[in-house]
Chains A and B, each alone.
Chain A
């Protein structure tokens, strides 16, 4: 379960993000078309997105739906906590590339946490949290 409502379709899960965020809702004219566009870009068949139940999706598919839910409505900042944890190495890179492309298109900042150093090269800035002494964190923020 990747934090999707089990009883709703993937599409409804994605649109749910707009229900409580009027700002994001205002940025798009046709939420359903936008959701389907995003999921198609993320490699999910529209039929699956509209008609499947969230529980019927594989973990990878659920992750993509979750990503679409985060990206819909052109948010300024996307925070992802290990979004690739459930994927194998090849799929991980593909997913990050996909995410990057979408974030670029939307014009959002992506802040991502990962244990996988191989993903590092896709990002503009990286920080190794284990290398930072507690005291220096404040410096960094400044």
Chain B
């Protein structure tokens, strides 16, 4: 106890260097925990990109690929799902709801998704949160479009804006004969929904009705004429499926995968998201590696400070020896000091982290769609904090052993 008091007073007498050291370690700890928070937050946000959907059905390819194009709008479908197959699945008794999705067109770099109004009720993210409209509502007219928050923000669109959908993803041919009108703008979700232009499934059919192959055919059909026609699509790209009972998921998945009429693939979004995260999680691990390095650097800085202080503290050591302190007491004193420094730094680091979280949280959520949870540190984080204190104490053994040797050779006499 007396040793801790002594170490404390000694630290106080060198408060400037000590404070800087403490601050450096505290910052590194806060950074490390912050990265940890962002990491888990990103992972959770990622895993919560889509929820409430039990199966995603598409043409047979890879699970990750299907997830990429159906949910993340990255890459393309290898094939379509015929409307007959879609109907067959929809009529299965396990199926509670099914939402078709038709992809392939774009608007100024943003993917266009043809779907039904039900999409906005069925698509959930971040633990069953609904898609909400900031302005407007779902399609009222055939040529109405709903846009995500990023689309609205980046292109500066408001309700009533007329937009033209381009054919394909990077094409110069546009469906300019059948322009759409923005009818609704969705709230920021932090999911690919933000970067999507939604139109009705029939509208996708309508804009392609006078197209053959990759180009426009000779006999064009005007926007007015098309309204009178049957706009039942021939094929869709993928479908989101909800089942009545969770127990039926695997049965339905097997049925879809063994569907004899057409090669289809049904995936569980959670499983595919996990697979995908394993692929992109490398960056996450790199980030963690960097922040570990920062902590190590800060601890090394502390050792350097203790080493540098040793010489000017020789007299202090000698006095302690003179009043009867044993050399190992000196060693203990220095390690106690380091332990105190690390402990205070860790506490300060926690404080910095939570202040930062409170300050930046709503901004991060709205700007990056990253939800940072403010919670009591997890067991893992406590372990990390404990490890920092332990490591700080351990590395201080270097200077402490040197002080031990010095106090043996110097004894009570200080040769300066």
Contact = CB atoms under 8 A, between A and B. Distances in A.
Contact of A21 (B13, B320, B324): B324
Contacts of A19: 2, 323-325
Contact of A17 (B13, B323, B329): B323
A41 B13 CA distance: 29
A6 B325 CA distance: 17
Nearest to B13: A7
Interface string A43-67: 0000000000000000000000000
B384 to A, nearest CB: 32
Nearest to A8: B9
B306 to A, nearest CB: 16
Interface string B312-346: 00011011101111100100000000000000000
Contact of A7 (B2, B10, B320, B326): B10
A12 B3 CA distance: 12
Contacts of B316: 5-6
Contacts of B2: 19
A33 interface: no
A20 B322 CA distance: 10
Chain B's interface size range is 10 to 19
A3 interface: yes
A120 to B, nearest CB: 27
Contacts of B318: 3
A74 interface: no
Contacts, number: 37
A87 interface: no
Contact of A4 (B9, B319, B325, B326): B319
Nearest to B316: A5
Contacts of B320: 5, 16
A69 B323 contact: yes
A1 interface: yes
A81 to B, nearest CB: 11
A16 B323 CA distance: 7
A25 to B, nearest CB: 11
Contacts of B20: none
B323 A20 contact: yes
A4 B10 CA distance: 13
Interface residues of A, number: 14
B223 interface: no
Contacts of B323: 16-17, 19-21, 69
Nearest to B323: A17
B153 interface: no
B367 interface: no
Contacts of B6: 8, 16
Interface in A64-101: 69
A6 B324 contact: no
A47 to B, nearest CB: 19
A17 B2 CA distance: 12
Given A1-B315, A4-B319, A20 B329 contact: yes
A1 B322 CA distance: 15
B74 interface: no
Contacts of B322: 3
Contacts of A6: 13, 316
B394 interface: no
A6 B315 CA distance: 10
A122 B38 CA distance: 77
A93 B129 CA distance: 89
Given A19-B2, A20-B329, A21-B324, A12 B9 contact: yes
B329 A5 contact: no
Interface in A1-41: 1, 3-8, 12, 16-17, 19-21
A12 B323 CA distance: 12
Nearest to A24: B324
Given A1-B315, A12-B9, A20-B324, 15 more contacts: A3-B315, A3-B319, A3-B322, A5-B10, A5-B316, A5-B319, A5-B320, A6-B13, A7-B9, A7-B10, A7-B13, A8-B9, A16-B320, A19-B324, A20-B326
Closest 5 CB pairs of A and B: A7-B13, A20-B324, A17-B323, A7-B9, A19-B2
5 contacts: A4-B319, A5-B10, A5-B320, A7-B10, A16-B323
